[in-house]
Amino acid sequence: MEWMGCRENFCICGPSGTGKSHFTDALGQTVVEAGLTVPWFTIEDLGVLVRWHCADDSIARALAKIIRSDLIIVDDIGLLPVSPDASEGFYRLVDAAYERRSIAAGTGPQ
């Protein structure tokens, strides 16, 4: 987990059914057992987050809470077509976390 201390990111890619989600779950569990914090999202969860906070433009505050975590996991990228809200949420998350927090991403076939 030393890559997290360097604020580096991790991406696991592969076809459906190869264990990417299990791997990111196990990674998150290992980080939690080390006493650190980990939020876990699917790409569509980020779309919901954007839609939820667009009415009062509070997405920056919501993301500020998320990037206080030690590792952020985003899974199921590319599993289904990505909505504009989900892509905006992922962009904003990566932008907010850049060089501050590590992100682990699980992506499927494109």
Question: For residue range 8-27, what is the model confidence (pLDDT) as tens digits?
Answer: 999 999 888 899 999 999 99
Q: What is the per-residue pLDDT for 55? A: 80
Residue 71 phi, psi dihedral angles, 5° rounding: -145, 140
Residue 100 to residue 59: CA distance in whole angstroms? 18
Domain boundaries, the chain: 7-15+22-107
pLDDT in tens, 42-73: 999 999 999 999 888 899 999 999 999 999 99
Q: What is the per-residue pLDDT for 70? A: 95
pTM score of the predicted model: 0.90
Residue 66 to residue 43: CA distance in whole angstroms? 14
Residue 108 to residue 42: CA distance in whole angstroms? 12
Please provide the CATH number assigned to the domain covering 7-15+22-107. Answer: 3.40.50.300
Task: Say if residue 107 is exposed, middle or buried (CB neighbours under 10 Å; 0-12, 13-18, 19+).
Answer: middle
Give me 35's structure tokens: 């006493």
